[in-house]
Amino acid sequence: MKRSKGSGHAEAYQPQAFDIAREQFGMETALRRAIDRGHLRLNYQPIYDLASGRLVSFEALARWRDEAGAEFLPSDFIPVAEESGLIVPLGRWAIEEAVRRLAEWDARFGGDCGVKIAVNLSAIQLQRDSITPLLQSALTTHGLPGSRFTLELTESALVTDPDRIAGIMHGLKGLGTTIAMDDFGTGYSNLAYLQKLPIDILKIDRSFVTGMLADRDKVAIVRAILSLAQALGMQTTAEGVETNDLAQTLAALGCTYGQGFVYARPLEAEDAYALLENRRH
Ligand code: C2E
Ligand code: MG
Ligand code: MG
Ligand code: MG
Protein backbone atom coordinates (compact mmCIF):
# COMPACT_ATOMS: atom_id res chain seq x y z
CA MET A 1 0.00 0.00 0.00
CA LYS A 2 1.76 3.13 -1.25
CA ARG A 3 0.17 5.70 1.02
CA SER A 4 1.24 3.99 4.22
CA LYS A 5 4.86 3.44 3.15
CA GLY A 6 7.19 4.66 5.87
CA SER A 7 4.40 6.60 7.55
CA GLY A 8 3.88 4.12 10.35
CA HIS A 9 0.24 3.85 9.34
CA ALA A 10 0.48 0.45 7.69
CA GLU A 11 -1.57 -1.24 10.39
CA ALA A 12 -4.23 1.43 10.22
CA TYR A 13 -4.77 0.89 6.48
CA GLN A 14 -4.98 -2.87 6.45
CA PRO A 15 -8.31 -3.28 8.23
CA GLN A 16 -9.66 -0.60 5.95
CA ALA A 17 -8.59 -2.52 2.86
CA PHE A 18 -10.17 -5.60 4.38
CA ASP A 19 -13.43 -3.76 4.98
CA ILE A 20 -13.48 -2.58 1.41
CA ALA A 21 -12.95 -6.12 0.15
CA ARG A 22 -15.70 -7.41 2.42
CA GLU A 23 -18.05 -4.66 1.34
CA GLN A 24 -17.37 -5.50 -2.31
CA PHE A 25 -18.04 -9.12 -1.61
CA GLY A 26 -21.29 -8.23 0.12
CA MET A 27 -22.29 -6.10 -2.82
CA GLU A 28 -21.36 -8.87 -5.23
CA THR A 29 -23.59 -11.34 -3.39
CA ALA A 30 -26.44 -8.83 -3.28
CA LEU A 31 -26.00 -7.96 -6.96
CA ARG A 32 -26.03 -11.63 -7.97
CA ARG A 33 -29.28 -12.06 -6.06
CA ALA A 34 -30.76 -8.90 -7.59
CA ILE A 35 -30.00 -10.15 -11.10
CA ASP A 36 -31.50 -13.58 -10.33
CA ARG A 37 -34.62 -12.09 -8.78
CA GLY A 38 -35.18 -9.44 -11.42
CA HIS A 39 -34.54 -6.49 -9.12
CA LEU A 40 -32.65 -4.47 -11.71
CA ARG A 41 -34.46 -2.18 -14.07
CA LEU A 42 -33.62 0.12 -16.96
CA ASN A 43 -34.24 3.84 -16.97
CA TYR A 44 -34.44 5.64 -20.28
CA GLN A 45 -32.87 9.01 -21.08
CA PRO A 46 -34.17 10.75 -24.21
CA ILE A 47 -31.81 11.83 -26.99
CA TYR A 48 -32.88 14.62 -29.36
CA ASP A 49 -31.95 15.68 -32.86
CA LEU A 50 -30.51 19.13 -32.14
CA ALA A 51 -31.46 20.74 -35.47
CA SER A 52 -35.12 19.70 -35.46
CA GLY A 53 -35.72 19.16 -31.74
CA ARG A 54 -37.14 15.72 -32.53
CA LEU A 55 -36.92 12.89 -30.00
CA VAL A 56 -34.93 10.16 -31.76
CA SER A 57 -33.89 7.62 -29.15
CA PHE A 58 -33.53 6.64 -25.53
CA GLU A 59 -30.38 5.46 -23.81
CA ALA A 60 -31.10 2.52 -21.48
CA LEU A 61 -29.34 2.99 -18.12
CA ALA A 62 -29.31 0.30 -15.44
CA ARG A 63 -30.70 0.97 -11.95
CA TRP A 64 -30.76 -1.23 -8.89
CA ARG A 65 -32.92 -0.81 -5.78
CA ASP A 66 -31.95 -3.27 -3.07
CA GLU A 67 -34.32 -5.01 -0.69
CA ALA A 68 -33.97 -2.24 1.91
CA GLY A 69 -35.04 0.29 -0.72
CA ALA A 70 -31.62 1.88 -1.30
CA GLU A 71 -31.04 2.96 -4.88
CA PHE A 72 -27.69 2.24 -6.51
CA LEU A 73 -26.28 3.90 -9.60
CA PRO A 74 -24.13 2.20 -12.23
CA SER A 75 -21.01 3.89 -10.85
CA ASP A 76 -21.56 1.82 -7.67
CA PHE A 77 -22.32 -1.57 -9.21
CA ILE A 78 -20.97 -1.74 -12.78
CA PRO A 79 -17.34 -1.89 -11.54
CA VAL A 80 -18.33 -4.68 -9.10
CA ALA A 81 -20.15 -6.46 -11.92
CA GLU A 82 -17.09 -6.18 -14.15
CA GLU A 83 -14.66 -7.46 -11.52
CA SER A 84 -16.87 -10.38 -10.52
CA GLY A 85 -17.98 -11.46 -13.99
CA LEU A 86 -21.59 -10.58 -13.15
CA ILE A 87 -21.43 -8.13 -16.06
CA VAL A 88 -22.19 -11.11 -18.32
CA PRO A 89 -25.66 -11.94 -16.88
CA LEU A 90 -26.30 -8.23 -16.20
CA GLY A 91 -25.42 -7.32 -19.78
CA ARG A 92 -27.56 -10.16 -21.18
CA TRP A 93 -30.46 -9.01 -19.08
CA ALA A 94 -30.03 -5.39 -20.29
CA ILE A 95 -30.14 -6.40 -23.96
CA GLU A 96 -33.18 -8.64 -23.54
CA GLU A 97 -35.00 -6.11 -21.38
CA ALA A 98 -34.38 -3.25 -23.85
CA VAL A 99 -35.65 -5.31 -26.79
CA ARG A 100 -38.69 -6.48 -24.83
CA ARG A 101 -39.44 -2.90 -23.78
CA LEU A 102 -39.26 -1.45 -27.28
CA ALA A 103 -41.59 -4.20 -28.55
CA GLU A 104 -43.99 -3.33 -25.72
CA TRP A 105 -43.87 0.38 -26.62
CA ASP A 106 -44.55 -0.41 -30.29
CA ALA A 107 -47.49 -2.60 -29.33
CA ARG A 108 -49.01 0.11 -27.13
CA PHE A 109 -48.30 2.75 -29.75
CA GLY A 110 -50.01 0.70 -32.43
CA GLY A 111 -46.97 0.41 -34.70
CA ASP A 112 -43.38 1.62 -34.84
CA CYS A 113 -43.19 4.19 -32.04
CA GLY A 114 -40.41 5.95 -33.95
CA VAL A 115 -37.48 5.78 -31.56
CA LYS A 116 -34.42 3.62 -31.09
CA ILE A 117 -33.05 2.31 -27.83
CA ALA A 118 -29.33 2.53 -27.12
CA VAL A 119 -27.79 -0.18 -24.92
CA ASN A 120 -24.40 0.13 -23.22
CA LEU A 121 -21.95 -2.74 -23.67
CA SER A 122 -19.02 -3.16 -21.32
CA ALA A 123 -15.57 -4.05 -22.65
CA ILE A 124 -15.39 -7.00 -20.28
CA GLN A 125 -18.79 -8.23 -21.36
CA LEU A 126 -17.62 -8.14 -25.00
CA GLN A 127 -14.51 -10.14 -24.11
CA ARG A 128 -16.42 -12.82 -22.26
CA ASP A 129 -19.76 -13.21 -23.97
CA SER A 130 -21.21 -13.59 -27.48
CA ILE A 131 -23.50 -10.62 -27.80
CA THR A 132 -24.47 -10.91 -31.47
CA PRO A 133 -26.40 -14.22 -31.31
CA LEU A 134 -28.04 -13.08 -28.07
CA LEU A 135 -29.26 -9.85 -29.68
CA GLN A 136 -30.31 -11.68 -32.81
CA SER A 137 -32.43 -14.11 -30.84
CA ALA A 138 -34.05 -11.32 -28.78
CA LEU A 139 -34.89 -9.47 -32.03
CA THR A 140 -36.43 -12.61 -33.52
CA THR A 141 -38.45 -13.32 -30.36
CA HIS A 142 -39.92 -9.83 -30.35
CA GLY A 143 -40.13 -9.29 -34.11
CA LEU A 144 -37.99 -6.15 -34.20
CA PRO A 145 -35.30 -5.19 -36.73
CA GLY A 146 -31.77 -4.50 -35.48
CA SER A 147 -32.08 -1.00 -36.96
CA ARG A 148 -34.15 -0.02 -33.90
CA PHE A 149 -31.11 -0.37 -31.64
CA THR A 150 -27.85 1.42 -30.99
CA LEU A 151 -24.99 -0.23 -29.15
CA GLU A 152 -22.67 1.99 -27.14
CA LEU A 153 -19.10 0.79 -26.72
CA THR A 154 -16.21 2.57 -25.04
CA GLU A 155 -12.68 2.85 -26.36
CA SER A 156 -11.53 0.51 -23.59
CA ALA A 157 -13.20 -2.30 -25.57
CA LEU A 158 -10.54 -1.83 -28.26
CA VAL A 159 -7.49 -2.14 -26.05
CA THR A 160 -7.16 -5.86 -25.37
CA ASP A 161 -8.09 -7.56 -28.61
CA PRO A 162 -9.00 -4.99 -31.27
CA ASP A 163 -9.34 -7.55 -34.08
CA ARG A 164 -11.84 -9.60 -32.14
CA ILE A 165 -13.85 -6.50 -31.19
CA ALA A 166 -13.79 -5.38 -34.83
CA GLY A 167 -15.31 -8.74 -35.77
CA ILE A 168 -18.02 -8.33 -33.13
CA MET A 169 -18.78 -4.81 -34.34
CA HIS A 170 -19.15 -6.02 -37.92
CA GLY A 171 -21.44 -8.81 -36.72
CA LEU A 172 -23.61 -6.30 -34.84
CA LYS A 173 -23.69 -4.00 -37.88
CA GLY A 174 -24.80 -7.03 -39.88
CA LEU A 175 -27.96 -7.09 -37.74
CA GLY A 176 -28.63 -3.50 -38.83
CA THR A 177 -27.72 -1.81 -35.55
CA THR A 178 -26.10 1.58 -35.08
CA ILE A 179 -22.73 1.62 -33.31
CA ALA A 180 -21.77 4.54 -31.05
CA MET A 181 -18.39 5.17 -29.45
CA ASP A 182 -19.29 6.25 -25.90
CA ASP A 183 -17.37 8.74 -23.75
CA PHE A 184 -15.35 9.69 -26.82
CA GLY A 185 -12.21 11.64 -26.02
CA THR A 186 -11.51 10.13 -22.62
CA GLY A 187 -9.91 6.82 -23.53
CA TYR A 188 -7.58 5.31 -26.04
CA SER A 189 -5.46 7.88 -27.84
CA ASN A 190 -4.66 5.92 -31.01
CA LEU A 191 -7.28 7.23 -33.42
CA ALA A 192 -6.34 4.81 -36.19
CA TYR A 193 -9.22 2.59 -35.17
CA LEU A 194 -11.69 5.22 -36.38
CA GLN A 195 -10.82 4.41 -39.99
CA LYS A 196 -11.12 0.69 -39.59
CA LEU A 197 -14.21 0.18 -37.46
CA PRO A 198 -17.86 0.53 -38.46
CA ILE A 199 -18.66 3.41 -36.11
CA ASP A 200 -21.73 5.53 -36.83
CA ILE A 201 -21.75 7.96 -33.92
CA LEU A 202 -19.17 9.58 -31.65
CA LYS A 203 -20.65 10.41 -28.25
CA ILE A 204 -18.73 13.37 -26.90
CA ASP A 205 -18.00 12.79 -23.24
CA ARG A 206 -19.85 15.05 -20.88
CA SER A 207 -16.61 16.23 -19.26
CA PHE A 208 -16.04 18.31 -22.43
CA VAL A 209 -19.63 19.40 -22.92
CA THR A 210 -20.96 20.45 -19.52
CA GLY A 211 -19.54 23.87 -18.71
CA MET A 212 -17.97 24.33 -22.16
CA LEU A 213 -19.52 27.78 -22.61
CA ALA A 214 -17.24 29.07 -19.85
CA ASP A 215 -14.15 27.19 -21.03
CA ARG A 216 -12.45 27.89 -24.38
CA ASP A 217 -10.36 24.74 -24.14
CA LYS A 218 -13.47 22.58 -23.94
CA VAL A 219 -14.99 24.39 -26.90
CA ALA A 220 -11.80 23.69 -28.86
CA ILE A 221 -11.97 19.98 -28.03
CA VAL A 222 -15.66 19.74 -28.90
CA ARG A 223 -15.09 21.53 -32.21
CA ALA A 224 -12.21 19.20 -33.02
CA ILE A 225 -14.33 16.12 -32.33
CA LEU A 226 -17.18 17.52 -34.42
CA SER A 227 -14.94 18.19 -37.39
CA LEU A 228 -13.26 14.80 -37.06
CA ALA A 229 -16.65 13.10 -37.07
CA GLN A 230 -17.84 15.15 -40.02
CA ALA A 231 -14.72 14.34 -42.03
CA LEU A 232 -15.18 10.65 -41.31
CA GLY A 233 -18.89 10.72 -42.16
CA MET A 234 -20.01 10.01 -38.61
CA GLN A 235 -22.76 11.60 -36.53
CA THR A 236 -22.23 13.05 -33.06
CA THR A 237 -24.08 13.06 -29.76
CA ALA A 238 -23.24 15.49 -26.97
CA GLU A 239 -23.82 14.08 -23.48
CA GLY A 240 -24.30 16.29 -20.44
CA VAL A 241 -26.32 19.05 -22.13
CA GLU A 242 -27.52 20.89 -19.06
CA THR A 243 -28.64 24.28 -20.41
CA ASN A 244 -30.56 25.71 -23.37
CA ASP A 245 -27.62 27.91 -24.35
CA LEU A 246 -25.48 24.82 -24.57
CA ALA A 247 -28.04 23.01 -26.74
CA GLN A 248 -28.21 25.99 -29.09
CA THR A 249 -24.45 26.35 -29.32
CA LEU A 250 -23.99 22.64 -30.02
CA ALA A 251 -26.66 22.78 -32.73
CA ALA A 252 -24.93 25.79 -34.29
CA LEU A 253 -21.60 23.94 -34.23
CA GLY A 254 -23.21 21.08 -36.14
CA CYS A 255 -23.51 18.46 -33.43
CA THR A 256 -26.20 15.97 -34.51
CA TYR A 257 -27.81 14.85 -31.23
CA GLY A 258 -28.00 15.99 -27.62
CA GLN A 259 -28.74 14.28 -24.33
CA GLY A 260 -28.78 15.78 -20.88
CA PHE A 261 -30.58 17.18 -17.90
CA VAL A 262 -31.93 20.21 -19.84
CA TYR A 263 -34.20 17.74 -21.67
CA ALA A 264 -34.67 15.04 -19.07
CA ARG A 265 -32.93 12.88 -16.53
CA PRO A 266 -33.06 9.13 -17.12
CA LEU A 267 -36.76 8.26 -16.80
CA GLU A 268 -38.72 5.28 -15.54
CA ALA A 269 -40.03 3.28 -18.52
CA GLU A 270 -43.59 4.52 -18.00
CA ASP A 271 -42.50 8.19 -18.08
CA ALA A 272 -40.39 7.55 -21.17
CA TYR A 273 -43.41 6.03 -22.90
CA ALA A 274 -45.47 9.09 -21.93
CA LEU A 275 -43.01 11.22 -23.96
CA LEU A 276 -43.78 9.08 -27.00
CA GLU A 277 -47.51 9.54 -26.52
CA ASN A 278 -47.12 13.31 -26.04
CA ARG A 279 -45.21 13.54 -29.26
CA ARG A 280 -48.15 12.00 -31.12
CA HIS A 281 -50.45 14.91 -30.16
P1 C2E B 1 -22.83 6.66 -20.09
O2 C2E B 1 -23.15 5.54 -21.01
O3 C2E B 1 -21.86 7.68 -20.55
O4 C2E B 1 -24.24 7.32 -19.71
C5 C2E B 1 -24.45 8.67 -19.49
C6 C2E B 1 -24.44 9.01 -18.02
O7 C2E B 1 -24.47 10.41 -17.89
C8 C2E B 1 -25.64 8.47 -17.25
O9 C2E B 1 -25.23 8.18 -15.93
C10 C2E B 1 -26.56 9.69 -17.23
O11 C2E B 1 -27.49 9.68 -16.17
C12 C2E B 1 -25.56 10.80 -17.07
N13 C2E B 1 -26.06 12.07 -17.60
C14 C2E B 1 -26.86 12.25 -18.68
N15 C2E B 1 -27.10 13.56 -18.90
C16 C2E B 1 -26.42 14.23 -17.93
C17 C2E B 1 -26.30 15.63 -17.62
O18 C2E B 1 -26.83 16.51 -18.28
N19 C2E B 1 -25.51 15.93 -16.55
C20 C2E B 1 -24.91 14.99 -15.80
N21 C2E B 1 -24.19 15.40 -14.77
N22 C2E B 1 -25.01 13.66 -16.05
C23 C2E B 1 -25.76 13.30 -17.11
P24 C2E B 1 -25.58 6.82 -15.19
O25 C2E B 1 -26.98 6.41 -15.50
O26 C2E B 1 -25.19 7.00 -13.75
O27 C2E B 1 -24.64 5.76 -15.88
C28 C2E B 1 -23.25 5.86 -15.74
C29 C2E B 1 -22.53 4.90 -16.64
O30 C2E B 1 -22.79 3.54 -16.27
C31 C2E B 1 -22.97 4.99 -18.09
O32 C2E B 1 -22.30 6.07 -18.68
C33 C2E B 1 -22.55 3.63 -18.63
O34 C2E B 1 -21.18 3.64 -18.97
C35 C2E B 1 -22.72 2.74 -17.41
N36 C2E B 1 -23.96 1.94 -17.56
C37 C2E B 1 -25.24 2.27 -17.27
N38 C2E B 1 -26.08 1.26 -17.55
C39 C2E B 1 -25.31 0.26 -18.05
C40 C2E B 1 -25.59 -1.07 -18.55
O41 C2E B 1 -26.74 -1.53 -18.63
N42 C2E B 1 -24.51 -1.81 -18.98
C43 C2E B 1 -23.24 -1.32 -18.95
N44 C2E B 1 -22.22 -2.09 -19.40
N45 C2E B 1 -22.95 -0.09 -18.51
C46 C2E B 1 -23.97 0.70 -18.06
MG1 MG C 1 -23.69 5.25 -22.81
MG1 MG D 1 -21.58 8.15 -22.47
MG1 MG E 1 -20.17 9.26 -20.02
Higher pLDDT, 8 or 162: 162
Task: Calculate how far, in angstroms, residue 186's C-alpha sits from the geometric centre of ligand 4.
Answer: 9
**Over 80: is that where the pLDDT of 8 sits?**
no
Instruction: Kindly state the percentage of the chain with pLDDT values over 90.
Output: 80
Q: Which residues of 192-231 are buried (b: 16+ CB within 10 A; e: fewer)?
A: eebeebebbbbbbbbebbbebeeeeebeebbeebbebbee
Distance CA 110, CA 277 (A): 11
Task: Calculate how far, in angstroms, residue 210's C-alpha sits from the geometric centre of ligand 1.
Answer: 14
The residue whose C-alpha atom lies closest to atom 27 belonging to ligand 1 is: 74
Task: State the ipTM, two decimals.
Answer: 0.98
pLDDT confidence band for 221 (50 / 70 / 90) = very high
Dihedral in degrees, nearest 10, Cα atoms 237, 238, 239, 240: -160
Give yes or no for residue 259 CB within 6 A of ligand 1.
Answer: yes
Q: Which helix (H) or strand (E) is 24 found in, with range?
A: helix 10-37
Q: Give residue 158's pLDDT.
A: 85
Task: Calculate how far, in angstroms, residue 7's C-alpha sits from the geometric centre of ligand 1.
Answer: 38
Q: Which atom of ligand 1 is nearest to the CA of 154?
A: 34
Q: Cβ contacts of residue 70 below 8 Å, gap of 6+?
A: none
**Over 50: is that where the pLDDT of 6 sits?**
no
Q: Probe ligand 1: pick from 43, 47, 61, max atoms within 8 Å of CB?
A: 61
Q: Which atom of ligand 1 is nearest to the CA of 239?
A: 15
* Residues 45-69: tens digit of each pLDDT: 999 999 999 999 999 999 999 888 8
Around Cβ 61, how many Cβ atoms within 10 Å?
19
pLDDT confidence band for 279 (50 / 70 / 90) = confident
pTM exceeding the 0.95 threshold for the entire prediction: no
Q: Probe ligand 1: pick from 120, 121, 156, max atoms within 8 Å of CB?
A: 120
